[in-house]
Amino acid sequence: MFDDRTDAGRQLADLLTECGVEGDVVLGVPRGGLPVARIVADRLDVPLDIVSARKLGAPWNSELAIGAVAGDGSVWLNEQLISEAGIDDEYIEEVRTTERQAAQERLDRYREDRDAVDLTDQRVVIVDDGIATGATMIACVRQVRAAGASSVVVAVPVAPPETVTTLLAEADDVVCVETPDYFGAVGRFYRSFGQVSDDEARTYLR
C-alpha cells in the first residue's frame, strides 16, 4: 500500500536506482502518472515530458479495451477479442481516429507552448502511477519506439504479474515495485488516490 503518488514515486525511484536503470528522458502518462514521473525524473536528473494514449472501447462497453492508440497514431489491438466479438474495421477506424485526436489534444494542452523532447537515440523511461491491463501503455511504448528511442523502460509502482509479462514483449524492461496476484484496480493500492487536475498536471511539467 502506497500512501499517495509522492510515496509511490519515491519508492519507484529507489527501485530504479537499485536496479541500475539509467535514462535520458522520463515520460509521464497524464494525469496520474505525472506526480510519480516528476520524482523519478528528478532522481535520474533528466528532462520530464509526457506521452499519451487512449483506450479504444468496445461498441457495447466503452470501458472494455479492444485496443489503444497514442497521439502519433501508434496502435495496439486485441485481435482475439475483436475477432471473437465480430467488431468490424469501420468501427475500429472510427474510434481510433477519435481517440488519437483526443490523445494529441491532451499532449498539446499539457505542454502548453513547449516543444516535445526529441527522443531520437534516447534511453526513455515511461512512468505511470500503475497499470491494469497495459493496453494504453503498449500504445505509449510503440509511440516512443517509433520516435526513435534507443531503449524503452516501463516503470510503475504497481501492476499485475500477467501485465508485466505482456509489457516485457514490448519494452526493453519493466520495473515494478509491487506485482500483486489479486489486482482489481490501481487505486486500491493507494491510501490517497485523488484525481490529478489539469492545472496540477501542468505544474509537474513546468
For residue 56, the SS3 value is strand
Query: Given this model, what pLDDT does residue 1 score?
Result: 86
Alpha-carbon distance 81 to 86, whole Å? 8
Q: 128, 123, 112, 114: which is closest to 51 by C-alpha?
A: 128
**What is the DSSP annotation of 91-143?**
HHHHHHHHHHHHHHHHHHHHHTTPPPPP-TT-EEEEE-S--SS-HHHHHHHHH
Query: Given this model, what pLDDT does residue 114 score?
Result: 84
Query: Given this model, what pLDDT does residue 192 score?
Result: 95
Query: Given this model, what pLDDT does residue 64 score?
Result: 87
Peptide bond preceding 31 in cis form (omega within 30 of 0):
yes
Query: Given this model, what pLDDT does residue 116 score?
Result: 87
Query: Given this model, what pLDDT does residue 138 score?
Result: 95
pTM for this predicted structure = 0.93
Contacts of 160 (CB under 8 A, 6+ apart): 131, 132, 179, 180, 181, 183
pLDDT tens across the length of the chain (206 residues): 899 999 999 999 999 999 999 999 999 999 999 999 999 999 999 999 999 999 999 999 988 889 999 988 899 999 999 999 999 999 999 999 999 999 999 888 888 888 889 999 999 999 999 999 899 999 999 999 999 999 999 999 999 999 999 999 999 999 999 999 888 889 999 999 999 998 998 899 88
By 3-state DSSP, what share of the chain in percent is helix, strand and coil, each rounded to 5? Answer: 45, 25, 35
**What is the DSSP annotation of 152-167?**
EEEEEEE--HHHHHHH
**Which structural domains are found in the chain, ordered by start?**
5-52+111-131+163-205 (3.40.50.2020)
- Grid look-up 524492461 returns 173
C-alpha cell at 140: 505509449
DSSP 179: -
Alpha-carbon distance 167 to 134, whole Å? 7
Alpha-carbon distance 104 to 30, whole Å? 12
